[in-house]
Amino acid sequence: MNYATPRNIEHLEDCRFYHYMDLPGIGLVEGTWDLRDEIDNYLGGLDYSGQRVLDMGTASGYLTFEMENRGADVVSYDITEGQPMEIVPYMNGGFNLAAAQAASSQMGERTKNAYWFAHRLLGSRARAYYGDIRSLPVELGKFDVALFGMILGHLRDPFGALCSVARLAPSTIVITNQTHPDDDGGTPLAYFMPSTANREPAAYWALSIGCLTQMLDILDYEVEDVRSAWPWCRGIPERDGREHCSSIIARRR
């Protein structure tokens, strides 16, 4: 399997951390999300010992390294090197899509640097794969658990991503995500977030637990449990505080 070549990142200033984490010889590094005191709930309360895990949307790798600390063999997935996130393509108001994509690509590369910086300091054995989430290669092999950590809402086609991963996860999928504001746990709701009023750049969907449950049911998974997690959003001043996430644990029938 053609895994990503590790980067030899020596300097903290070359990195952009998405997660808060503690690094040997460095101490606490700060990012957008602090998951540390909610990590057990965020990971769905599963026993990861001896499990082969696919960490979808690893960013700076905190979830990978935490699952590895719990005894997992982890493959970290992220977007192809040099590619931007799926920026919302506003076509009015003078929006410069090319500039936004360039900035996103640069931020993504600095986030990958953070992953490899932490990977080296923590002595991680995790491997990384960078590619298209909608066409993950079968050569990655099978995984006991596939974890989606707050990425489905950032994708134009979240169901397509689930379909791609389901081929590789014959046992368990965990989805941890903020859910639809009117979520009642059962109604399959999806709310399209960007508008010309809010100019949201890279979040497309708020999905209810019922909506995600229905998607998983189509793929022959049954929701076994739903847990709540309250991680800190610290890197966005107007949102500073704890935000509710639902961790959905689904098993293949």
Our count of domains for the chain comes to 1
Residue 2 falls inside a structural domain: no
For residue 239, the model assigns a pLDDT of: 86
d(CA 54, CA 130): 12
d(CA 206, CA 227): 18
Residue 6 falls inside a structural domain: no
Where on the phi/psi map is residue 61: left (φ > 0), alpha (ψ -120 to 50), or beta? left
Tokens of 94: 């003078």
d(CA 110, CA 64): 17
Residue 5 falls inside a structural domain: no
For 7-42, give the DSSP string: P----GGG---SB-EEETTTEEE--SEE-GGGHHHH
- DSSP code for 91: -
**Model confidence pLDDT, tens digit, residues 53-65:** 999 999 999 999 9
In degrees to the nearest 10, what's the CA dihedral of 180, 182, 184, 185? 0
Tokens of 225: 């449990």
**Model confidence pLDDT, tens digit, residues 208-243:** 999 999 999 999 999 999 999 999 999 888 888 999
Statement: residue 181 has pLDDT above 90: no
Find the domain containing 17 and state its range. Answer: 13-252
Q: Using an 8 Å Cβ cutoff, are 243 and 226 in contact?
A: no
Statement: residue 182 has pLDDT above 90: no
Helix (H) or strand (E) holding 223, with range, is strand 221-229
Q: What percent of the chain has pLDDT over 70?
A: 100
For residue 107, the model assigns a pLDDT of: 96
Helix (H) or strand (E) holding 252, with range, is strand 245-252
Q: Give the mean pLDDT of 119-126.
A: 98
Statement: residue 174 has pLDDT above 90: yes
CATH number at residue 153: 3.40.50.150
Statement: residue 153 has pLDDT above 90: yes
Residue 170 falls inside a structural domain: yes
Residue 203 falls inside a structural domain: yes
For residue 1, the model assigns a pLDDT of: 80
| Mean of pLDDT over the chain | 96
Q: What percent of the chain has pLDDT over 90?
A: 92
Statement: residue 199 has pLDDT above 90: yes
Residue 4 falls inside a structural domain: no
Residue 65 falls inside a structural domain: yes
Q: Give the mean pLDDT of 83-89.
A: 95
Q: Answer positive or negative: Cα dihedral of 6, 10, 16, 21.
A: positive
For residue 93, the model assigns a pLDDT of: 84
Statement: residue 21 has pLDDT above 90: yes
What b-and-e string marks burial along 151-182, b requiring 16 or more CB atoms within 10 Å of the CB?
bbbbbeebbebbebbbebbeebbbbbbbbbee
Residue 7 falls inside a structural domain: no
